[in-house]
Amino acid sequence: MHFNLSEERQMLKDTIDRFLSDHYGKIKNHHENSKLIEGFNPKIWNESSSIGMISGLISPKYKGLGGTGEDIMIIFELIGKYLCVEPFLSTGVMSSTALSSCNINVEQLMDDIISGKKIISFAHSEVESRYDDSYINVKATQKDDFWYINGTKSFVLNGDQASVLLVSARINGDTLDENGIGIFKINSKDYEIRPYNTIDGYRASEITFNNVTASLMCKDEIAYNCILETNYAAALAVSSEAIGIMQKCFDLTVDYLKTRTQFGKTIGSFQALQHRMVDLMIEIEQAKSSVMLAAGTYESEKNIKYRNVSAAKNLIGRVGKLVAEECIQLHGGIGMTWEYNLQNYAKRLIMIDHLMGDSDHHIEKFKKFSKY
């Protein structure tokens, strides 16, 4: 038993850390990248491909260099540390996972992801679906040899830059049925798209389909499983991202407590504040441990894998809220300003609980997979 990284992974981690530090160190905050027309910086995305940051998220089965839970954890912790807005989540994790779960030949698309050539988005969330894996109202109908998609997906990460969309749609059955779902590929841009910024500085889109031609990737059991796999991969990714963010919030706060003086002393000398910092430290270590458990057992059988990712996502939700709120409070007024970078980390941390199932959603999942 050990918790150290192998030499190769340590190298990958160091390389990515330097890479992101070079790019993100030069700018004021991540908004400088997300307010670009693409919603991210295409130069960073292309270069990330050449240092192996995208292929690190993809299994050797598809000519990637990683793709294990541990790889996702390492890469996304750094993504959190720098609040990196490039499409690693939408394309690197979600679409690559969805594609590899369709049980069909997807080699060309995977090549295009690894090389950074294509942005591919996974379109699943609808206005009313909240966090349900099977809640799908967007309809797919077959006429002759063609499939047509109708309806609206409300939250498609990086949807405005995607040259390919992977869309979950209902072929038959009721809105919540696990059966009767299909995953479709759309190559055209024959849909209405409304891109928007998110409160935490990322880019997503609302996409409406009116009889858009699509090709069927998989359906029924395979399709439902594909959604689960995708959401769980994304849940592990954003949980890991949250670890990087929490550490950053904590470090910013310690620095602030050491420099800010009131009543003639640094405020960090006050016991009431010290104890709250220790509480944060404990909870961050707990959250980190939970993510490590999820990452380290990600290749296990599904019940264990889902159970541990749900545990991590639940704890991340609880601890993330604590860290975000406490760090703002311990900073006082400065923590409330747009100017000071803490707010960006705090906002992303809170919003992570709104992605891929919040802590309440995952406590239910945890109970289910633990056979409560």
Partner 1 sequence: MDFNFTREENEFREEVINWLKENLPHNISEKVRSYKRLSKEDYEIFMKKLSQKGWLAINWPVEYGGTGWSTIQKHIFEEEIVKANAPRIVPFGLNMLGPVLIEYGSKKQKEFYLPRILSCEDWWAQGYSEPGSGSDLASLKTIAIDKGDHYLVNGQKTWTTLGHFANKIFCLVKTNTKCKPQEGISFLLIDIKSSGVEVKPIITLDGEHEVNEVWFTDVKVPKENLLGEENKGWTYAKYLLTHERTGIAGVPYSKSAIEHLKKISSTIYNNGIPLIKDPIFSSQIAELEIDINAMEIFNLRTVSAASEGKAPAMESSLLKIKGSIIRQKTCDLLRKAIGPMALPYISEQFDEGWNEEPIGPEYVGKIAKQYFINRKISIYGGSNEIQKNIVAKSAFKL
Chain residues in the site for partner 1 (CB under 8 A):
1-5, 70, 254, 257-258, 266, 268-269, 271, 274-275, 277-279, 281-282, 285-290, 292-293, 295-297, 308, 311, 314-315, 318, 363-364, 366-367, 370, 372
User: How far apart (Å, rounded) are the C-alpha atoms in residues 44 and 51?
Assistant: 11
Q: Which is nearer to partner 1, 42 or 296 (CB)?
A: 296
Which 3 state secondary structure label does DSSP give 26?
coil
Q: Which is nearer to partner 1, 127 or 282 (CB)?
A: 282
Min dist CB 75 to partner 1, Å, is 14
Min dist CB 154 to partner 1, Å, is 28
Which 3 state secondary structure label does DSSP give 169?
strand
One-letter identity of residue 48: S
Are 102 and 226 spatial neighbours (Cβ–Cβ below 8 Å)? Answer: yes
Q: Which is nearer to partner 1, 189 or 367 (CB)?
A: 367
Cβ burial, residue 324 (10 Å; 0-12/13-18/19+): buried
Min dist CB 293 to partner 1, Å, is 5
Please report how the helices 302-331 and 271-296 are oriented relative to each other, as an axis angle in degrees rounded to 10: 160
Q: How far is CA 139 from CA 135, 182, 239, 305, in A?
A: 12, 9, 31, 31
- Please name the residues in contact with 51: beta carbons below 8 A apart, sequence gap of 6 or more: 15, 16, 19
Min dist CB 344 to partner 1, Å, is 23
Min dist CB 246 to partner 1, Å, is 14
Min dist CB 348 to partner 1, Å, is 22
DSSP string, 63-84: T-S--SHHHHHHHHHHHHHHT-
Q: Which is nearer to partner 1, 68 or 213 (CB)?
A: 68
User: Beta strand pairing status for 192-197 and 181-186?
Assistant: unpaired
User: How far apart (Å, rounded) are the C-alpha atoms in residues 217 and 185?
Assistant: 7
Are 54 and 88 spatial neighbours (Cβ–Cβ below 8 Å)? Answer: yes
Q: Which is nearer to partner 1, 205 or 310 (CB)?
A: 310
Min dist CB 292 to partner 1, Å, is 6
Are 139 and 101 spatial neighbours (Cβ–Cβ below 8 Å)? Answer: no
Instruction: Name the residue among 177, 182, 103, 118 with its Cα closest to residue 149.
Output: 182
Please report how the helices 302-331 and 359-369 are oriented relative to each other, as an axis angle in degrees rounded to 10: 150
Q: Which is nearer to partner 1, 207 or 309 (CB)?
A: 309
Which 3 state secondary structure label does DSSP give 166?
strand
Q: Which is nearer to partner 1, 12 or 295 (CB)?
A: 295
Min dist CB 12 to partner 1, Å, is 13
Q: Which is nearer to partner 1, 6 or 215 (CB)?
A: 6
Min dist CB 269 to partner 1, Å, is 6
Are 316 and 239 spatial neighbours (Cβ–Cβ below 8 Å)? Answer: yes
Q: Which is nearer to partner 1, 74 or 136 (CB)?
A: 74
